[in-house]
């Protein structure tokens, strides 16, 4: 059994950026192999909503609800074999 975990920051800054709905969307996917947690600040405030996939330690920034399924498919469900390459979300220019 896998011990995939996904942390979705629920601290103030990320919540302001929509982390609550992102967390809800991850939970709504209800994937047995992946445990979803709301977390405290992940130290990346301002780039939120921040998502951290463990144990692979893949960081996703500015995650939107629309990206949740893609993140699960691309990283969490295949991370035994996947090599972390390019981030799914590229930072927007400031």
Sign, Cα dihedral of 52, 54, 58, 64: negative
Q: Determine if 21 is a binding residue for ligand FES (CB under 6 A).
A: no
* Extended beta strands in 1-40, E state: 4-9, 34-39
Q: Determine if 20 is a binding residue for ligand FES (CB under 6 A).
A: no
How many residues bind ligand FES, per CB under 6 A?
12
The residues in 29-68 that bind ligand FES, with binding defined as CB under 6 A, are 41-45, 48, 50
The pair phi, psi for residue 16, each rounded to 5°, is -60, -25
Residues near ligand FES (CB under 6 A)? 9, 11-14, 41-45, 48, 50
């Amino acid at each position: 059994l896998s011990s995939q975990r996904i942390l979705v920051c629920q601290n103030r800054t990320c919540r302001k950026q929509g982390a609550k709905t992102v967390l809800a969307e991850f939970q709504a996917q209800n994937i047995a192999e992946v445990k979803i947690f709301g977390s405290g600040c992940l130290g990346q405030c301002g780039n939120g909503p921040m998502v951290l996939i463990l144990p692979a330690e893949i960081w996703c920034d500015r995650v939107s609800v629309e990206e949740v399924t893609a993140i699960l498919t691309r990283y969490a469900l295949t991370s035994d074999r996947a090599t972390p390459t390019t981030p799914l979300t590229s930072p927007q220019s400031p």
